[in-house]
Structure 1
């Protein structure tokens, strides 16, 4: 058994992480850090854990844990690590965007590997520090990677994606109140979303001659969790060519699957899966990608990375069934 610590224990991603780790055969939770909730029972915040765990939040860390998950707001992970030291044997998985870009990947002389298992599995297995991808970035990259690897992106990429309310975190704002979100729909950060940086980085690394634009329009949905992303770009090959490319690339993936049929969100919510569907319409290839933003887009992928880092079965603790009904 390895010991795990969670920093920023009161948020949605931490709640999902706890839910996964308490059922993981190889992990015990050593501490759950939250300065604002120190001394309180975890189930007082994560009420779905009432009767399941009796942990209390703490404002102290154990510097010698085997792995620590940073579930902090963007910009706060680097600050926390500057103020708190872990042992050289502690592996760190950061769920913020602090270390995802190559220009930010080295911090305190430690290099953070970009934690997209479908692309960087071998590097993750050897890594001590992981930058967990963003939720939108995960869904969109898994839609585009097979094309980029084969140098088939010859035009701009247009992406429209909608996320559930949990993507905004636990802090209330004018667009997260129930009365605003219910029966409502809107876009935000058009063509400027912060996940574009890591998406561009991956596409350009896989296809160095890519010089076109990625036009990304993110949307707020009136549901709690999930991301439904559609991307389209010019494609000269046939639909069968495209399906063959995607089938080949994802044939050994533990959690990403190519569907023969159009997708819907209920297929992935509450799972660590990404489902992908491709369809050729006129000269455009339409790629649909669906994930649960809190699992494959955050905590589930973090545990998947942990499994790879420690040599566990990649799917351990993550065999979750979708809430289909």
Structure 2
């Protein structure tokens, strides 16, 4: 089996992404020293975490002679936007199966943000009703393309396949090298988790490093137990892909926090908006209402509960998504957000 550095890979990302301290917000909270890994700065199509995964998946699509990549996600999917960008950069067609799941979405949500960029990258949009089974819709799109003489390459939701998760096994090595250069050891890493590929890849990479750093996934999809089981299985599959024993990761190594999801996927709570506002005002760093806003709310909540304490170094992995701020602009006109208390 190939090792990580032997996997075929396209080079889309601007790497290494910055790792920087958050001094003002650390002082504001009066707890641990907070750091941020800027995977919103991966570069391709406004960046984000999926680009690391797509480097391996697009390389595999090209190796298999694909003419079109096909994937799925909600209307404001960061994954779909980055897949469309990666396909354009690789000279491939891209078809997106778009799940229109929010009945009360306004005009900005339906026309701005990620969906606007999907169109600019010339993706083919197949809009399906909310609740449509993604696997069935993807297979139908692939079958139609094969009937037309094309060669489809299916990318799962969130690019969360073992090959995609390898991108975050590699990110683990990058974070470790950056921390060593700064003389740091991180006591915890916090990030948004949903389809599971990012957390699974981080866990696989940490297993290879024999790292004791605990990885905290803040569930944005739900239910948390299902997300946790999926992350565990995917992490083991990623280790197997890389030629290592899958028992290096046990179920108790997978930490998923399900109490920051609010009303559900794509529905930011008041706490989400306050977390976005806090980081913007304190550090001039933008989060999104669907993924990173909830993840940062989760980090703040863990600080409030004493899970992270003074003297620790905690890393927040910024997985991108700022494009969707423009789709949710109405939320900021509806209420006064204001500072969040420590």
Shorter-chain TM-score range: 0.3 to 0.5
Which one has the bigger helix percentage? Answer: 2
| TM-score, structure 1 as length reference | 0.36
- Structure ranking higher on relative contact order (CA contacts 8 Å, 6+ apart): 2
TM-score (norm 2): 0.35
